[in-house]
Structure 1
Amino acid sequence: MASQSTFVIVGAGLAGAKAAEALREQGFDGRIVLIGDEASRPYERPPLSKEYLQGKAERDSVFVHDADWYPSHDIDLRLGTVVQSLDRDRHEVILADGDHLPYHKLLLTTGAEPRRLPIPGADAERVYYLRRVEDSDRLRDLFATASRLAVIGAGWIGLEVAAAARTAGVAVIVVEVAALPLLRVLGPQVAPVFADLHRAHDVDLRRGTGIQEITSSSGKATGLRLADGSHVEADAVLVGVGAAPNTRLATEAGLEVDNGVVVDASLRSSDPDIYAAGDVARAYHPFLDKHIRVEHWANALNQPATAAAAMLGQDARFEALPYFYTDQYDLGMEYTGYTEPEGYDQVVVRGDLSTREFVSFWLHQGRVLAGMNVNIWDVTHDIKALIHAQTPVDIARLADPSVPLAEVGTRA
């Protein structure tokens, strides 16, 4: 690509920063403009609900690059800058201050935002969401003063915040509409592991109930009114009910949008000069043969290299299997692969669920679709190999911890 070309990246999070890095590493010597609406330079989000929230990591550790990396790589980093719209015909990004920024190629890494609860009291003080570093700072400050925290939603964010709060000595009540935490992701055989984990740390877990309202006094949250009419008292409320992709710019520009910006395997959108990566992208996955949107760190970390290559005219496809991890109390977990609740017909566990040292596998017709290792390490490569094999495995050997995963073999 000629050096006079301008590539614009909208969204200065992990995906945006890694895209700028990948473009330079892949030889692009044109102009790169990286635009973000936050005041902080690009940072990683997993620590915000894990080690940074718990005070185990310093603020500087969350940033993707040192501050001087951007000027030293000739990246025009524009922080605190809002993009108002995209003009596809004129190939321009229009900023909220009225400035028009031309582009030859455009990458959307606008991420996602926490879903808001449309219930009374949701706008009260001391109702928290967790997405940005300032949110994590506020929660850290809260842990030093609050005695009781109510968490709405037992997904990954809700449970990680619950674990951090309990570690800080705050009493925690978690309210979840489903029968178990993480039920949709893990299913009824494995999800109880996380319910038992939090109960073992004295979390008051309320399952199978909805929320009528967030109660308040003098404008400050005082707890939750549950669907059955009962009241949960709390000094503050954390809402963790999922995230929605930031697709406004794409939608208003007329790009194809369906639970994210729809892109092909090269991360190219319905406009050949516009790409998307990270949480906002609903990308076609060649191995899975479907479009998926993955709200996890690994996609934001790894997809940008593919997008950069495609923007530079190379034949590139993103084929990495979905991957995510969590740390809660003394439990560490990695999950590799992809399946939906209706996509598997068998769960095989290697190890002991009760001791929280195991590997679980989700299978369909004997083929491994996904695997999760809990407090067992250095098996991700073998799990990926089982998934990629796409052949029925020997179930007895898969379940036997004495048989190395690399030697499980196919079904006789």
Structure 2
Amino acid sequence: MSITGVPAPDAATRHREQERPASIVVVGAGLAGAQTVAALRRHGFDGRVTLVGAEKTLPYDRPPLSKELVTRAEPAWLSDELDVDVLTLADDVRLAESAVGLELLEDGVVVRTRRTASAHDTDDTISADAVVLACGARAVRPTAWPDALVLYTASDAAALRQRLASAHRLVVVGAGWIGAEVAGVVAASGTAVTVVEAAPEPLAGQLGADVGALTRQWYADAGITLLTGVTVGGVDATGVVLADGTRLPADVVLAAVGAVPATAWLRGTLPLTARGAVPVGPTGSLEVGGAVGGPTLSERAATRMWAVGDCADRRTDRFGVVAGAHWTGALTHPEAVACAITGHPAPPESAPYVFSDQLGHHLTVVGTPEPDAEVVHRGSPGGPDGWTTLWVRRPTDGAAADVRELLAVLTVDRPRDVGPARRLLAGSRPPMIDVLRACDPAVPLKASVVGPAPSV
């Protein structure tokens, strides 16, 4: 099958048709890029590896940027957190150097880069047999909000922290993961915080409005003013103006309205999805079933590239298309990419996993909540012992009335359910559970499974 683009050969076909690369350039020096370099070496790749990163810092973990914004002055280095030292693992590490162009050739790839110095820009090219795109994402800041700050990089965190040091009032636009985390830690430091959200409830886009509403009281408990169902008309140096003309004075405004793949430099070179991500299969190879047009590439040229992490929309056999921005995707998917490149069997797929520390509570989401799924609770939402929310679906095969397929799990201050949820949802098909037993917090989650537990 041809695409406006490329067919999607499996790993075995790819390796029959081309020799394995002897040199690889990894574009992106975040978690996904660093993990790719480490996985390649772990699986025996002894060729030349070049790592290119737009930031001037060595690889670090992004979640602490918001979760520990006030208490951590420097990044959580991956060399310490995961024992991944790219300076040792890669042959050439180029920091503060942005990729600005890509050519996929029949016999290799060429990455064009640009280093911005104080006086002038320096352009260069890197030639290799293959490329792994791990170029991540960038925070969204509406062009009409030049006075708003964003939070995605270590330099963003440093700038926000510096501004907050003398601030008395913070307005956060967006009550998603980042907005809630920043609001909580800043309010705890004594700064007055207002959060503005266009959706009817916090986390509505991530969890649905009904489940997101369960977090509303947390804002009041933290002394934060939460305004939902309202839109922002403008941002200036003195605060935020809502669409109805209401002014919210602020010393600092944070736009926490999402992130988009950092793939603008690839437009016209690769087919991209509607949100601008690189469409890939389970092992990170280019697939364009979800692309919205793009150039036509030869099959051989297409097999010269992989993509991983926040810049990729990955088709999985178990969960369908999983968008980037899942922390565990950047952590674990490089293993599959490295296996494909080196000819090793692909590892089992893990379930998408997100965690958040916000407003005095710890949340994890395992799997992919579906808007039309049935929602049930394990334990009492808002209770002192935490709770777990389950997204379930009635099977189509005439199962018993209380049997459901388990699709996703949210845990709130209930860490004992996290491990079982991850194991159950890592199987090749949704586990079948007795929903009445699953909703009883005294019954171990695994004990609610009907029939054999899913194979992992």
**Same-fold call, TM cutoff 0.5:** yes
Which amino acid letter does the alignment assign opposite residue 135 of structure 2? T
1:44 to 61, 66, 72: 61
Which residue of structure 1 aligns with residue 411 of structure 2? 373
CA offset at residue 195 of structure 1?
Answer: 1.3
Superposed counterparts of 1:304-383, under 5 Å: 304-316=334-346, 319-342=349-372, 344=373, 346-355=374-383, 357-365=386-394, 366-383=404-421
2:228 to 207, 212, 215: 207
1:399 to 419, 439, 451: 439
Which residue of structure 1 aligns with residue 260 of structure 2? 244
Which amino acid letter does the alignment assign opposite residue 248 of structure 2? V
Tell whether 2:99 aligns with 1:64: no
- Alpha carbons of structure 1 residues 318 and 257: separation in structure 2 relative to 1, 3 Å: farther
- Secondary structure of the residue aligned to 1:95 is strand
Between the aligned partners of 1:18 and 1:264, the Cα distance in structure 2 is: 18
Between the aligned partners of 1:36 and 1:374, the Cα distance in structure 2 is: 35
CA offset at residue 133 of structure 1?
Answer: 0.6
- Secondary structure of the residue aligned to 1:191 is helix
CA offset at residue 91 of structure 1?
Answer: 1.8
Q: Quick one: percent identity of the two aligned structures?
A: 32
Question: Could you report, residue by residue, the CA deviation over 1:326-358 in whole angstroms, capped at 9, with x for unpaired residues?
Answer: 11232111110113323x1x1111112122600
Question: What number of residue pairs does the alignment pair up?
Answer: 396
Which residue of structure 2 aligns with residue 218 of structure 1? none
Which residue of structure 1 aligns with residue 169 of structure 2? 148
Which residue of structure 2 aligns with residue 281 of structure 1? 312
Between the aligned partners of 2:20 and 2:230, the Cα distance in structure 1 is: 58
Alpha carbons 1:211, 1:226 under 8 Å: kept? yes
- Secondary structure of the residue aligned to 1:320 is coil
Alpha carbons 2:34, 2:84 under 8 Å: kept? no
Alpha carbons 2:431, 2:449 under 8 Å: kept? no
CA offset at residue 68 of structure 1?
Answer: 9.9
Question: Could you report, residue by residue, the CA deviation over 1:17-56 in whole angstroms, capped at 9, with x for unpaired residues?
Answer: 11111111111111100000111011110000012x121x
Between the aligned partners of 1:149 and 1:320, the Cα distance in structure 2 is: 38
Alpha carbons 1:153, 1:177 under 8 Å: kept? yes
Tell whether 2:159 aligns with 1:123: no
Which residue of structure 2 aligns with residue 390 of structure 1? 430
- Alpha carbons of structure 1 residues 42 and 340: separation in structure 2 relative to 1, 3 Å: same
Which amino acid letter does the alignment assign opposite residue 391 of structure 2? W
Superposed counterparts of 1:19-38, under 5 Å: 19-38=36-55
Alpha carbons 1:368, 1:392 under 8 Å: kept? yes
TM-score (norm 1): 0.91
Tell whether 2:245 aligns with 1:229: yes
2:323 to 285, 293, 296: 293
Between the aligned partners of 1:35 and 1:140, the Cα distance in structure 2 is: 27
Between the aligned partners of 1:63 and 1:76, the Cα distance in structure 2 is: 19
Which residue of structure 2 aligns with residue 198 of structure 1? 219
5+ unaligned residues in a row in structure 1: which ranges?
Answer: 216-220
Between the aligned partners of 2:209 and 2:88, the Cα distance in structure 1 is: 51
Which residue of structure 1 aligns with residue 332 of structure 2? 302
- Alpha carbons of structure 1 residues 142 and 168: separation in structure 2 relative to 1, 3 Å: farther
Question: Could you report, residue by residue, the CA deviation over 1:192-216 in whole angstroms, capped at 9, with x for unpaired residues?
Answer: 222110111111111101011113x
CA offset at residue 162 of structure 1?
Answer: 0.3
Which residue of structure 2 aligns with residue 133 of structure 1? 154
Which amino acid letter does the alignment assign opposite residue 317 of structure 2? P
TM-score (norm 2): 0.82
5+ unaligned residues in a row in structure 2: which ranges?
Answer: 1-14, 115-121, 288-301, 395-403, 452-456
Which amino acid letter does the alignment assign opposite residue 337 of structure 2? A
- Secondary structure of the residue aligned to 2:410 is strand
Alpha carbons 1:3, 1:28 under 8 Å: kept? no
Which amino acid letter does the alignment assign opposite residue 77 of structure 1? V
- Secondary structure of the residue aligned to 1:117 is coil
CA offset at residue 258 of structure 1?
Answer: 3.8
CA offset at residue 4 of structure 1?
Answer: 8.4
Between the aligned partners of 2:64 and 2:262, the Cα distance in structure 1 is: 21
CA offset at residue 58 of structure 1?
Answer: 5.4
